[in-house]
A and B are shown apart, each in its own frame.
Chain A
Amino acid sequence: MNPAWHRIRDQFPTLHQKVNGHPLVYLDNAATTQKPKSVIEALDRFYERDNSNVHRGLHALSMRATDAYEGARERVRRFINAEHSEEIIFTRGTTESINLVAASWGGANLKKGDVILLTEMEHHSNLVPWQLVAQRTGATLRYLPVTGDEGLLDLPALDRLLTPEVKVFAFTHVSNTLGTINPVAELCARARRAGAISVVDAAQSIGHMPVDVRAIGCDFLAFSGHKMAAVTGIGALYGRQALLDAMPPWQGGGGMISSVDLFESRWKPSPERFEAGTPNFGDAVALGAACDFLDSLGRETIREHDGALARTAYERLAELPGIRIIGPKGERGGLVSFAFRDLHAHDVVTFADEDGIALRGGHHCNQPLMKRLGLTSTARASFYVYNEEKEIDLLVASMRRTIKFFGLD
């Protein structure tokens, strides 16, 4: 066993507490993961020692902060195997990354008659930005369907849907509600052959499995730090250099210009062009530390660990009366969504919390998908590196008590 996994729970301070009298069982990792000591310490160290505004600074601290910030960019480049560090733009997270592509690339390239192809399993963050740019440009939206409760993309339908009018195809790597792992490399290749750019929402995959932008072959890829053991408020957009070079800024301000006159300005190249204002360098440093942490564990091992827990949870939960589990039966990302007949997810989550178990309940920012599945809400258990099989036993026992309380057993 890789020594980095030894006593892994000890590395996460938040896990060691009681909730409602029970040891915390944290199963809300698809919403946000807990943070290891190494990430918290990296943040502390930066603010205790190196804090200063980056770029243009000629003094020692500013140079150190700039090195730390640009070092984090290089670390993220390596983490996703991008070709150039200039292809990494720091953002607040997945949502801002997708908004950047939609506003900048979409605003400059989409027009009436063009089609934006999405899938029915997209999180609102990969849906609403496209609705906004569609309204602004006159482009229209089109959806690749999801089939059945197993929640797989209807790939044969792509032949019919990926027409020459499609200029952009945006899809999630792993569904935050279904747990489906989409064949992103195949989808990107199909998009390219059809003359469309590809945008991958990697929010749910980035911290859980190897993500290699060159192997995937995507044009853009968006993710958040806080779902991969880093802190909130930082994420990144990967964009292929040639596309970024041709894109206009989407926000104006300091740091992104090469020169400013009263009536016009000239832009710096990427990444500065897309990072107006003082960037979030402190959190970028923490994101770099999270990359180190995850690579020390090995992302292939994390994928196996989280996937195995999700499959075990699926099998164990399936034994409960009146339960409906959505998403694939076999290979899946590290989460399981389920609903009980005649019992709402919020009641399930409240009862789980009573047992110290953190679940999420609701529509998971996936309202169109929920409608398609004929559900209003599901409860979701999502796993990460520190979760253990015995926590699934506690989850199942808690669910049994809840079902009994509501007389559904």
Chain B
Amino acid sequence: MSADLSDLYQNVILDHNRRPRNRGRIPSANRSAHGDNPSCGDQCDVFLRLDGDRIAEISFEGSGCAISQASASLMTTQLKGKTAAEAERLYGEFHEIVTTGKEPEEISDLAAFAGVHAFPARIKCATLSWHAALNALKGDPAAATTESHTD
């Protein structure tokens, strides 16, 4: 197996794909958003319970490749307890990681996605759930679609 492929399918990713965290619908959610990746049919719903400006609970449902499912699962673990501004900043870091392959200075599980940058067609898989989560935070009822974003 090539280095590129083993970088893409890291153990952290395989683990989140096999045992997704926070999967399902939160009954008390007060925000949600749907995301579509029209080119491959991947779908993702993100559910939030916002407590003031802070994400008290977060979950997802959806279908897609290992990269998209693991990304959604890992995202929920990273966003819980964060404010909307902190979530935006984390997405900025994540976007940098998946598009450039540069690992962040601080140790972060998000670095597991650095291998995505070698597979440009898969960047959308990794970012779909994040787009849905950010839309949910903004209270934007429109479905997030990876086609309307630059990645």
List residues of chain A with CB within 8 A of the CB of B8.
Answer: 350
Question: Which residues of B (39-61) have their CB < 8 Å from a CB of A?
Answer: 39-43
B-facing residues in A2-54 (Cβ within 8 Å):
20-21
| B64 & A354 in contact (Cβ 8 Å cutoff) | no
Interface size on A, residues (CB 8 A): 21
Give Cα A376 to B9, complex, Å: 21
A344-B65, A344-B66 in contact; A350/B40 too (CB < 8 A)? no
- Interface status of A263 (Cβ within 8 A of chain B): no
Residue-wise interface mask of A (352-368) relative to B, using a CB-CB cutoff of 8 A (1 in contact, 0 not): 00100000011100010
Please measure, in the bound complex, the distance between the C-alpha atom of A79 and the C-alpha atom of B24, giving whole angstroms. 55
Is the Cβ of A405 less than 8 Å from the Cβ of B40? no
> What's the Cα separation between A343 and B18 when bound, in Å?
10
Taking each of B1, B5, B43, B65, which has the highest tally of chain A beta carbons within 10 Å of its own beta carbon?
Answer: B65
Q: Is B2 close to A, CB under 8 A? A: yes
Cβ-based interface call for B14 (8 A): yes
Q: Once the chains bind, are A350 and B63 in contact (CB under 8 Å)? A: no
0 or 1 for each of B114-143: is its CB under 8 Å from A? (1 = yes): 000001001001000000000000000000
Q: Is the interface of B mostly helix, strand, loop or mixed?
A: mixed
Q: In residues 13-47 of chain B, which contact A (Cβ within 8 Å)?
A: 14, 18, 39-43
Interface bracket on B? 20 to 34
Asked if A347 is at the interface of the complex by the 8 Å CB criterion, the answer is yes
Determine whether the beta carbon of B64 is less than 8 Å from that of A351. Answer: no
B65 interface neighbour in A20, A346, A354, A407, Cβ under 8 Å: A346
Least Cβ–Cβ distance between A194 and chain B, in angstroms: 35
A363 near B41: Cβ-Cβ < 8 Å: yes
Task: List CB contacts (< 8 Å) of B61-91 with chain A.
Answer: 63-69
In the complex the two chains form, is A376's CB within 8 Å of B5's CB?
no
Chain B residue, CB-CB nearest to A377? B41
Contact of A350 among B14, B41, B68, B122 (CB under 8 A): B122
CA A112 to CA B119, docked complex, whole Å:
49
Query: Nearest chain A CB to B40's CB is how many angstroms away?
Result: 5
State the CA gap A109–B66 with chains docked (Å): 48
Q: How far is the CB of B14 from chain A (nearest CB, A)?
A: 7
A351, closest chain B residue (CB): B5
Whether A406 and B5, one on each chain, are in contact in the complex, defined by CB atoms closer than 8 angstroms, is no
Q: Can you list 11 A-B contacts (CB < 8 A)?
A: A20-B2, A342-B18, A344-B63, A344-B69, A350-B5, A350-B119, A367-B41, A376-B41, A377-B40, A405-B9, A406-B14
14 more contacts with CB within 8 A, not counting A354-B5, A367-B41, A405-B1, are A20-B2, A344-B64, A344-B65, A346-B64, A346-B65, A346-B122, A347-B65, A347-B66, A350-B8, A350-B65, A354-B2, A361-B40, A376-B63, A376-B64
8 tightest A-B CB contacts, nearest first: A346-B65, A344-B65, A363-B41, A376-B63, A347-B66, A347-B65, A362-B40, A354-B5
